[in-house]
Structure 1
Amino acid sequence: MSSQPHETSATTFAIVLAGGASSRLGGTDKTRMEVAGATTLERVLRSAHVDERIVVGPAGDGGPDLARIHGARFVLEDPPRSGPLAALARGVAEISGDLSDGPGGGATVLVLGGDMPLLRAETLTALTSTSASEQKVAALAGSDGHVQYLCAAWPLARLRAALDALEQSDGGWANLSLRRLYDQLGADELLTRRAAGAEDSDIDTPEALGAARDAAGPRIALAQIEVSEDVEVTRRTVRAAVAEAAAAGAQLVLLPEATLTPFGTDLHAIADAHHDSFEQLIQELATTHRLVVVAGSFTPADGGRVHNTVIARGPDDENRPADEDGPADENGPADEPLAADAAGAIGEPGAVRAEYRKIHLFDAYGSRESETVAPGEELVVIDLGGARLGIATCYDVRFPEQFSALARRGAQAILLPLAWADGPGKSEQLRLLLQARALDSTTVVLAADQAPPAQYTGKAARGIGQSAVIGPLGQIRQELGREPGLLVVDLDLEEVRDARAALPVLEHGVPLPRD
């Protein structure tokens, strides 16, 4: 869906400095510490969306897999352990070898630390874009304004010049600090971008490691797919989307509303004939790929109607290998009791088994969803990887009280499958509503819409694309167009905590009189 072939004529590189052992961490290689199910080095590699990745440091046991999955190349500085500047120079030399057929004057280099587990792909993309367009150094800065030297994008020519100016008379850059590199820059050569949440965290101490683990939520994929009227075609599409999400390291994949069958079909007949097998497919994929799958379906209801049902399934506990069983993390208290079918132990995807029935039905813009769909009544949240996730569906997004109620039940993010109806102004409305609901609830809103069929001219809602990740203060973090695709986000729970401290709307809300 969204995978791209590896570029051989790379113009954007990442040099990742890895292999640093910390005495305060017992001499352990801090780039191989695990945070939220992946090593810090892997988390950095998968956030750097560039043409080529060079890791300066030992490959270790997992190096071949990292190289294969992320297109990374491992090299060693010479002599070893000669300091970060020498390691960076080794990476630049490797780039120079790749560009032997040209000067590479337009190339951009991301200089990254392999022990920064909460870097965001959109932030690194923004730094790279800024550096390339302005031909200056663009670096991440913490909330205190401190420049993070190992999260910056450099024009390759400027990086080479700064290294050349520091090379020692007997050759090499041994024992020189990165600060010396930045001292080469003029006052107008450095641009900064303020970090959000815990994205500027690095792992130097046990306390820093603990804080990073506390901030790191699950990796979630939003699969924007085209839903066919042919159930078997859609099943193949779902299989491919879940496999791609699993390959991207996702712990949960969100599929659109009405993934079972699109609106405009005989919902009741298809729910009767195919929901059970669709649910079995979702369970099978969850178990096979070891992640949670959340998808829109339809289940039979009284009076010839159906429920617009979102099903969430984690791996089947009965099929889990024995060595994967372990104690569940403790779950802090919620403001209200959970729906009975949604409770699950944090960090235990096998415990996730929930169903949410859409509460607000789309009787608007000439549509009458209530004629074929019966409303649900219960709010639902699920727990995964240290995070609590609320579930809502499409038209629910127009009702802020539902999102605030989910947040008061502890939700830090809200999963929102969509089959958004097209029409004048509807794209602008969707974007505005997603941002508003994130602000109302200070949650991360994760919206996965259907990709509209190219030749579709019918009146039933078949999506407009525009799947998006919205930050808890309404920032559009990532967004797709109308074509099928995949968005992947690592939840930063510190960002949600910061947003709620800055904008305590959940505390300030008071009951209002009703007419």
Structure 2
Amino acid sequence: MRVALAQVVTRRDISGNLELVENFARQAKKGGAEMVVFPEATMRAFGNSLLDIAEPLDGPWATRVRRIAAELGIVIVAGMFTPGDPGSAGSGQPGAGAAGSDDVRKVRNTLLVTGPGVEASYDKIHLFDAFGFAESDTVDAGTGPVTFELGGIRFGLATCYDVRFPALFTANADLGAEVNIVCASWGSGPGKVDQWRLLARARAVDTTTYVLACGQGDPATQGIEAKGSAPTGVGHSAVVSPLGEVIEELDGGTGLLFADLDPAVVKEARTKLPVLANRHTFQ
């Protein structure tokens, strides 16, 4: 199966970000991809308000993505924001009411998966409360792993900070995942690109799965200044083999990466390196 990773730099304008989705999805389809993966926060870049744009999975933004996928005949994975639990207090969000009122809520950091024969969503479990940023101030955490099937291959989903937690990737593999998708808006800083590469490769070897690591591009490559400590992307989207080899990788700028996935490669890796079968669990 041919897949594509769309390394984009999204901004505040959700309509403009939809145009990016459509343009890159068209390019992916033209290149022969059956699925195109976009980063976390495709709907709106971090560093901007989120509560005022959060919408359900049948709302207008997701519906437009769904229509693009249907028109092109391609599966799209894209990061958006959905409403959190009613009554959960979010700080620093325009339009928030008094703490404890029914209309006060946070959002969920959601991956939408949509296209011919496929409909799924995943809410980010591990919230990025690190490196001076507190995602939990405005986001409710998801509760469990999500996988989906396309073309006889099972895919597991993860978002950004999740990549630092091997158990989620193992849980996806236990559910049959041969490929793990990580959509990110990775925070910049000393050593962060190296950590991104290391973690993507480690999660591949932990689970003998392909890892599709799709991140936001570096805003500086587009002349955009970073907003405080908000994680707005470093680029370096990559496809990693089940034995940890980086098959393809982009630099910091925007771009489209193609890769061909072969389930036989996963089967061979699991024969050579049966870590899933050999592991012990501890309580």
> Normalised by the size of structure 1, how large is the TM-score?
0.50
Q: Of 254, 258, 264, which residue of structure 2 is paired with 1:494?
A: 264
Corresponding residue number in structure 1 for 2:97: none
Q: Which residue of 2 aligns with 1:453?
A: 219
Amino acid at match of 2:22: R
Q: Is the 8 A contact 1:275 1:299 kept in 2?
A: no
Q: Counterparts of 1:409-424 in structure 2 under 5 Å?
A: 409-424=175-190
Larger Rg: 1
Q: Is the Cα–Cα contact under 8 Å of residues 260 and 275 in structure 1 kept in the other structure?
A: no
1:209-233: CA deviation from partner (whole Å, max 9, x where unpaired): xxxxxxxxx2111000110111122
Q: Say if 1:446 and 1:470, in contact at 8 Å, map to a contact too.
A: yes
Structure 1 stretches of at least 4 aligned residues deviating more than 2 Å after TM superposition: 272-275
Identity %: 44
Deviation for aligned residue 1:285:
0.9
CA distance in 2, matches of 1:361, 1:371: 10
Aligned to 2:18: 235
1:510 to 258, 280, 283: 280
Relative to structure 1, the CA distance from residue 254 to residue 243 in structure 2 (aligned partners, 3 Å threshold; closer, same or farther) is same
What amino acid is aligned across from residue 293 of structure 1 in structure 2? I
Contact map agreement 1:307 1:358 (CA 8 A) in 2: yes
Counterpart residue type for residue 113 of structure 2 = A
What letter corresponds to residue 167 of structure 2 in structure 1?
E
The offset of 1:378, in angstroms, is 1.8
Q: 2:238: which partner in 1?
A: 468
- Could you say if the C-alpha distance between residues 440 and 274 of structure 1 is closer, same or farther in structure 2, counting changes exceeding 3 Å? closer
**Is contact 2:187-2:231 (8 Å) kept?**
yes
Per-residue deviation, 1:278: 1.4
Structure 1 counterpart of 2:272, one-letter code: A
**Does the residue aligned with 1:221 lie in a helix, a strand or coil?**
strand
Kindly state the Cα deviation for residue 364 of structure 1 after the two structures are TM-superposed.
0.7
Q: Which residue of 2 aligns with 1:250?
A: 33
Matching residue within 60, 67, 75 for 1:292? 75
Match of 1:388 in 2: 154
The separation in 1 between residues aligned to 2:179 and 2:264, in whole angstroms, is 12
Aligned residues: 261
1:272 Cα offset (Å)? 4.3
Amino acid at match of 2:75: V
Q: Distance in 1 between matches of 2:109 and 2:55?
A: 13
Paired with 2:225 and 2:282, the residues of 1 have a C-alpha distance of 44
Say whether 1:408 aligns with 2:174.
yes
Q: Is 1:356 aligned to 2:122, yes or no?
A: yes
AA aligned to 1:477 is I
Q: What does residue range 240-319 of structure 1 map to in structure 2 within 5 Å?
A: 240-272=23-55, 276-302=59-85, 303=88, 304-315=105-116
Question: Per the alignment, do residues 273 and 399 of structure 1 end up closer, same or farther by CA in structure 2, a change over 3 Å counting?
Answer: closer
2:281 and 2:140 mapped to 1: Cα distance? 28
> Residue 165 of structure 2 corresponds to which residue in structure 1?
399
Deviation of 1:512 (Å): 1.1
Describe the SS at the equivalent of 1:253.
strand
The TM-score with structure 2 as length reference comes to 0.90
Q: Which amino acid aligns with 1:421?
A: G
Distance 1:273 1:381 in 2: 20
- 1:274 and 1:504 mapped to 2: Cα distance? 38
Secondary structure at the counterpart of residue 33 of structure 2: coil
Instruction: Summarize the alignment of residues 111-150 of structure 1 with structure 2, pairs less than 5 Å apart.
Output: none
Q: Report Cα offsets for 1:417-473 as digits up to 9, x if no partner.
A: 110000111011001001100000100000111112223232211110000000001
Q: How does 1:38-77 map to 2 (within 5 A)?
A: none
Counterpart-to-counterpart distance in 2, 1:511 and 1:226: 40
Matched residue of 2:161: which SS? helix
Deviation at 1:282, TM superposition (A): 1.1
Secondary structure of the 1:269 match is coil
Q: Which structure's relative contact order is higher, taking Cα pairs within 8 Å and 6+ residues apart?
A: 2
Are residues 1:368 and 2:139 paired? no
Residue 209 of structure 2 is aligned to residue 440 of structure 1: no
| Deviation for aligned residue 1:291 | 1.2
Distance 1:221 1:391 in 2: 16
Q: Say whether the 8 Å CA contact 1:229–1:262 is kept in structure 2.
A: yes
Q: Is the 1:363–1:370 Cα contact (8 Å) retained in structure 2? A: yes
How big is each residue's C-alpha offset from its partner over 1:344-398, in whole Å with a ceiling of 9 and x where there is no partner?
xxxxxx2x11010001100111111011000001211110111111111110000
Q: Which amino acid aligns with 1:491?
A: L
Supply the distance in 1 between the matched residues of 2:246 and 2:2 (Cα, whole angstroms). Answer: 18
The offset of 1:489, in angstroms, is 1.0
* Corresponding residue for residue 151 of structure 1: none
CA RMSD of aligned residues (A): 1.4
Instruction: Measure, in 1, the Cα distance between the counterparts of 2:22 and 2:225.
Output: 23
